[in-house]
A and B are shown apart, each in its own frame.
Chain A
Amino acid sequence: MENNNATELDNVVVRFTGDSGDGMQLTGTLFSNLSAILGNEISTFPDYPSEIRAPLGTLGGVSGFQVHLGSSKIYTPGDNADVLVAMNPAALKVNAQSVKKGGIIIFDTDSFEKTDLNKAEFKTDNPFEELSISETTQLIPVPLSSLTQSSLEEFGFDNKTVLRSKNMFALGLICWLFNRPIDQAIHFLGNKFGKKPDILHANVKVLTDGFNYGHNLHLTVSTFLVEKSHETPKGSYTSISGNKATAWGLIAASKKAGLELFLGSYPITPATDIMHELALRKDLGVKVMQAEDEIAGITSAIGASFAGSLAATSTSGPGLALKSEGIGLAVMAELPLVVVDVMRGGPSTGLPTKTEQTDLLQALYGRNGESPVVVMAASTPADCFHFAFMASKIALEHMSPVILLTDAFIGNGTSLWKLPKLAELPDIHPNYSLPGMEGSHVSSRNEETKVRYWSIPGTEGFGHRNGGLEKDYYTGAISSDAINHEKMVNTREQKIENISQFLPELKVEGNVDADLLVIGWGGTHGHLMSTVNSVNKKGSKIALAHFNYINPLPKNTIEVIQGYKKVVVCELNSGQFATYLRSKVPNVEFLQYNKVQGQPFTVAELEECFSKLL
């Protein structure tokens, strides 16, 4: 290892960018996994266009993957990059502004010809000048394409196949830059391309040549060292995306509850990976039905729930809209159901691959009638596992649909995940009808919690007729009686409200005696926490109350919020949670900080906002 000229850093951000076919997602994933294995904290964020293959070299086709690694706690994939890898001028143009002062730009000189510059709509021959890239930025020109070609000269591949490996050259170079041994990367490649020995061999060769290129040329930059993190609790870890963690959380819950897992789902960006992950798990008995549409996705799941499975459906905003009537049925039939909404930019088709928190009010209120459901939100890629598990537990124990909100940012991003064991997870006790209750009707319930008893078809003595029509509280028969309807509306509401008794209390992080309380929910926790920590370090007093449980709210919500003089609600929408809190928490002036750009917050913009408020 070559550490002589190495600069030690607490954390570093690397952004890999290129055409969507350049393999930037794979390169970024490999690099973050390598770093995690060496003991770094990691957080990643893929940023890709909705076009599968936009015209080569154009601005619309730029795909990016950002990796943040650190020797102390990392909460976000980072705002700006210390190192940018740009495979072509379009990638440079789209990402130039997000390079830090004094940062490094590695670019493929072979892709910076006149025609390439034209495709990226540059007007002059000097893209760096045209983009006003700071003189402090270190440019590392590398002929990636031709070096890859000579690396693979003897393989006899066609040129297209050869150039597909140039991302490995870039990865090798980055590994050198960060003092990462490449053995582990070779091991990863072996897992990925094991069945195609030619491709594996070629990728390993290019990767090694890329590493040696940096090493031998002693490029005029110093390398970086990011030490092991000592803040991470000891244990076995992996790196996991939010969508995969969500899928696995559902599986864990089904095993814990002793039920089969059924997913009814229709492909939709950015949620489809949940279906992919579950479809792989036939070995664990998971039943996945790719439905004919979003409506069949949820209604087949409702059928599975009626028949006694842990049932779920996964979607994104437009799909949630289509599922509204189905959710209403699950409310009325009081059946357990998990609805996962991986939020993206809206309305309508909106920004399918970008992140937003704009479905909150749809989740809370987007149905006909008085139709309360449990609404919760995950905060990080890894904790999608916990919240998918908890969503299932609540659905089964309280006989209600639960909407779990995640978003494109945490769904596709990855973070470190401490591997759980099934035995360590909380027990799940579905609210079954019990022996001795034979002959009970469909609306029979626990009078204290208002939770209906669940009778599974196939069980003798518990036959019943469920449905979307209002039921008589006392007999379960269909009823349009005025007083009964109101009683049933209140019963369903009380059932949901009562769940707050089982939820963890709202915690305050940062400086509890703060002058400013920052409120957030869901996937913004990382950016808010980083900012709050940074502001506190600079001497101001600021705290964060971050919500994962939204309906019902944690039972100490009012008390916590009313304890602060100044409160600002930060969210990636125009103020939906603030609106909701105003209806739930009296006598508080809720300030707002909102961003609706299809992108996560940056720590810098939040810090600017908070410093103005302090």
Chain B
Amino acid sequence: METKELTIPYTAKDFKSDQYVRWCPGCGDYAVLNTLQKVMAELGVAPHNTAVISGIGCSSRLPYYISGYGFHTIHGRGAAVATGVKVANPKLSVWQITGDGDCLAIGGNHFIHSVRRNVDINVLLFNNQIYGLTKGQYSPTTKKGYVTKSSPFGTVERPFRPAELTFGARGTFFARLLDVDLKNSQISMLAAAQHKGTSIVECLVNCVIFNDGAHGYLAEKETRADRTIFLEHGKPLIFGKDRNKGIIAKCFNLQVVTIGENGITEKDLLVHDATCEDTTLQMKLALMEGPEMPIALGVIRDVPTETYDEALENQITEIQAKSKIKTFDDLIASCEQWEM
């Protein structure tokens, strides 16, 4: 990555393209776009070394709004295209923009395999639990029983939980952010960009038209601090408006406690370890649900692991050092041959 000198830092504006943003007024995608542009500026990678790849869906229009290089591809295949981009040109900072339908339905296979390979791309998975661009059908993350145009009597399907899929595919990075939570979103997204490997950022976004308030339980400003917990590596699991609630492990389960009650002190709380290889506790945190538990935001897992693109480059370097074949003509010379 080419890093621009700190004396002339980029601003979010440097990453805005000249295209008019066409999402519905009030769409959660705007907030994620703005956060992304700020994070790109903070990263310091030049716009021309940035490639943003997407599939199909509302969120997949995002590449048009970022300066630098963008590619709006076909439904579900963004992960495979982004993999090709990164492998072919590892110097680029590669972002994949995808939605819950694009990523987890039609693109499910590419998603799990890009995560498994751990190719160094940053994936923003916009999860609004609905198909917006096709006007309101249920997606693989829509809650069971939810009424949509394609489930007029409620869905009978069990939804995916993106964190489980990511961990199941041996993912090395998983974070979750909430569209309206700008400050914390920026922290999570920056961490994703700095992680080497496939970084999955589940962005909980609101679709004002077809699924308004899907994340309303978390999004309400007054109750957000009590209903969510922002995880930070190495820090105790504390949350709540009064910062007096915490999480402890009891047997194999997590439990919310109040600091100062029943003799509980901060020392009794779990300390978040995002870098732990073992996913057990991270999985438990990722799957917490209200009202008993707060919903986890922030970086849940961040384990440094060799990336696919690195491993491939290393193998090429190693073989090139050993092989006698250095050029095409050497290859020709190496084959069994005779004069006629």
Chain A residues close to B by CB (< 8 Å): 33, 36-37, 39, 188, 191, 228-229, 232-240, 248, 251-252, 255, 260, 262, 264, 281-285, 287, 289, 291-293, 295-296, 299-309, 311, 325-326, 328-329, 333, 416, 419-422, 456-469, 477-478
Determine if B326 and A307 form an interchain contact, defined as CB atoms under 8 angstroms apart: no
Residues of B close to A251: CB separation below 8 A:
328, 331
* Count of interface residues, chain B, beta-carbon cutoff 8 Å: 54
Question: Roughly how many angstroms separate A416 CA and B339 CA in the complex, as a whole number?
Answer: 11
Q: Does B337 sit within 8 A of A, measured CB to CB?
A: yes
Give B242-285 as 1s and 0s: 1 = Cβ < 8 Å from A's Cβ atoms: 00000000000000000000000000000000000000000000
Determine if A326 and B89 form an interchain contact, defined as CB atoms under 8 angstroms apart: no
Question: Roughly how many angstroms separate A308 CA and B336 CA in the complex, as a whole number?
Answer: 34
A367 shortest CB reach to chain B, Å: 12
- A sample of 26 inter-chain contacts (CB < 8 A) reads A36-B338, A234-B340, A236-B339, A236-B340, A240-B335, A260-B88, A282-B316, A284-B325, A285-B320, A289-B87, A296-B110, A302-B73, A304-B87, A306-B69, A306-B84, A306-B85, A416-B340, A420-B332, A422-B327, A456-B89, A458-B91, A460-B48, A466-B70, A466-B71, A467-B70, A467-B73
Partner of B88, one of A237, A287, A326, A329: A287
Determine if B331 and A248 form an interchain contact, defined as CB atoms under 8 angstroms apart: yes
**Other A-B pairs beyond A234-B340, A303-B84, A478-B64, 9, CB < 8 Å:** A284-B325, A289-B83, A299-B74, A299-B110, A329-B73, A333-B71, A422-B328, A458-B48, A460-B48
Partner of B51, one of A295, A420, A457: A457
Determine if A465 and B71 form an interchain contact, defined as CB atoms under 8 angstroms apart: yes
Question: Roughly how many angstroms separate A462 CA and B49 CA in the complex, as a whole number?
Answer: 11
Give B82-97 as 1s and 0s: 1 = Cβ < 8 Å from A's Cβ atoms: 1111111101100000
Residue of B nearest to A455 (CB): B69
Q: Does B312 sit within 8 A of A, measured CB to CB?
A: yes
Determine if B335 and A419 form an interchain contact, defined as CB atoms under 8 angstroms apart: yes
Determine if B337 and A284 form an interchain contact, defined as CB atoms under 8 angstroms apart: no
Question: Roughly how many angstroms separate A345 CA and B144 CA in the complex, as a whole number?
Answer: 45
Instruction: Report if A232-B340 is in contact (Cβ < 8 Å); known contacts: A283-B320, A284-B325, A457-B48.
Output: yes
Question: Roughly how many angstroms separate A248 CA and B109 CA in the complex, as a whole number?
Answer: 31
Q: Does B77 sit within 8 A of A, measured CB to CB?
A: yes
Determine if A300 and B80 form an interchain contact, defined as CB atoms under 8 angstroms apart: yes
Question: Roughly how many angstroms separate A229 CA and B340 CA in the complex, as a whole number?
Answer: 8
Determine if B323 and A326 form an interchain contact, defined as CB atoms under 8 angstroms apart: no
Q: Does B5 sit within 8 A of A, measured CB to CB?
A: no
Partner of B319, one of A264, A282, A326: A282
Question: Roughly how many angstroms separate A464 CA and B70 CA in the complex, as a whole number?
Answer: 6
Question: Roughly how many angstroms separate A423 CA and B338 CA in the complex, as a whole number?
Answer: 21
Determine if B340 and A468 form an interchain contact, defined as CB atoms under 8 angstroms apart: no
Question: Roughly how many angstroms separate A295 CA and B331 CA in the complex, as a whole number?
Answer: 31
Partner of A300, one of B64, B84, B315: B84
Question: Roughly how many angstroms separate A477 CA and B127 CA in the complex, as a whole number?
Answer: 27
Partner of B81, one of A233, A235, A306, A422: A306
Residues of A close to B28: CB separation below 8 A:
none
Question: Roughly how many angstroms separate A478 CA and B326 CA in the complex, as a whole number?
Answer: 44
Determine if A307 and B74 form an interchain contact, defined as CB atoms under 8 angstroms apart: no
Question: Roughly how many angstroms separate A490 CA and B63 CA in the complex, as a whole number?
Answer: 27
Determine if A237 and B80 form an interchain contact, defined as CB atoms under 8 angstroms apart: no
Determine if B73 and A307 form an interchain contact, defined as CB atoms under 8 angstroms apart: no
Question: Roughly how many angstroms separate A255 CA and B84 CA in the complex, as a whole number?
Answer: 19
B105 shortest CB reach to chain A, Å: 14
A-B pairs, 3 with minimum CB distance: A303-B84, A467-B72, A283-B323
Question: Roughly how many angstroms separate A326 CA and B17 CA in the complex, as a whole number?
Answer: 26
Question: Roughly how many angstroms separate A255 CA and B331 CA in the complex, as a whole number?
Answer: 12
Residue of A nearest to B338 (CB): A37
Determine if A469 and B48 form an interchain contact, defined as CB atoms under 8 angstroms apart: no
Question: Roughly how many angstroms separate A236 CA and B335 CA in the complex, as a whole number?
Answer: 11
Determine if A299 and B109 form an interchain contact, defined as CB atoms under 8 angstroms apart: no
Complex interface residues of chain B between 301 and 340 (CB less than 8 A to chain A): 312, 315-316, 319-320, 322-323, 325-329, 331-332, 335-340
Determine if B72 and A300 form an interchain contact, defined as CB atoms under 8 angstroms apart: no
Determine if A463 and B337 form an interchain contact, defined as CB atoms under 8 angstroms apart: no
Residues of A close to B319: CB separation below 8 A:
282-283
Determine if B46 and A460 form an interchain contact, defined as CB atoms under 8 angstroms apart: yes
Question: Roughly how many angstroms separate A451 CA and B329 CA in the complex, as a whole number?
Answer: 32
Residue of A nearest to B308 (CB): A289
Residues of B close to A305: CB separation below 8 A:
84, 88
Q: Does B136 sit within 8 A of A, measured CB to CB?
A: no
B324 shortest CB reach to chain A, Å: 8
Determine if B72 and A463 form an interchain contact, defined as CB atoms under 8 angstroms apart: no
Determine if A283 and B326 form an interchain contact, defined as CB atoms under 8 angstroms apart: yes
Question: Roughly how many angstroms separate A300 CA and B71 CA in the complex, as a whole number?
Answer: 13
